[in-house]
Structure 1
């Protein structure tokens, strides 16, 4: 990275097993239900992965490489806008850590190596909380959240 970097960490507790959470991240047919995107890969270290929008065109929006896979406890991958995939400075890293806690699990998502001044750094601060809240709702109730909801006018 050629500029200053920043990171974003989000921790949530979900009434689900680590296996269910790991599947919700890595199985496109599940991720589409709460994220509107599927994460597509064979999930082996060194493999490519794509974040594919669930639309008629199946638009690839985010790409990266799987760095580490230890189901169901840990997944590490690089992350870049598809349009910046040729620029090494356009990549950041996402780490999912899942730990069992009695009848629930703690999910920690760390998105780091972000260029401080990038659009990605600004977007993930809003994106991860709503996506992970939607995942939690989906796993606990069977229904995700409206990801594109806006605040009600006063």
Structure 2
């Protein structure tokens, strides 16, 4: 029996050019500044990509393939935990749509084909909001936020 699938959609507006936002997603030296990970690939359809922790461990957390790339407006990748790379059922899909709006862009991130109720669905539902907030902060102020921050105790 096939597991039920779900989708998550996040939209943010960023004072930046489409080129700068697209580069922030695809260039490891930029993604490490707001995501704490480097997105590593040659960004050609069919190529592998990896989400590599930007610390001394260099742990590969996520992997997938580039499905579609149309700089600076669209990137589609498959997405799974590195530990589940061999399981085709574990893969979901992430689409980054970057649309120019005067002196800013609207970035829409659609994470779909997620297994409903899975650890991945739970994790990305918490992760995307802070990652996108950090991206926005980096683009607009030159500094990302701490995406690994934890709530202070009451």
Normalising to structure 2: TM-score of the pair?
0.98
Q: Deviations over 1:81-103 (max 9, x none)?
A: 00000000110000000000011
Q: How does 1:22-61 map to 2 (within 5 A)?
A: 22-61=22-61
Classify the secondary structure of the residue corresponding to 1:32: helix
Runs of at least 4 residues off by over 3 Å? none
Matches of 1:51 and 1:151, distance apart in 2 = 25
Counterpart position of 1:120: 120
Q: How does 1:47-86 map to 2 (within 5 A)?
A: 47-86=47-86
Q: Could you say what the CA RMSD is over the residues aligned between the two structures, in angstroms?
A: 1.0
Normalising to structure 1: TM-score of the pair?
0.98
Counterpart position of 1:89: 89
Matches of 2:104 and 2:88, distance apart in 1 = 37
Shift of 1:153: 2.5
Matches of 1:36 and 1:78, distance apart in 2 = 20
Gaps of 5+ in 2: none
Q: Deviations over 1:118-137 (max 9, x none)?
A: 10000011100000000000
Gaps of 5+ in 1: none
Classify the secondary structure of the residue corresponding to 1:45: coil
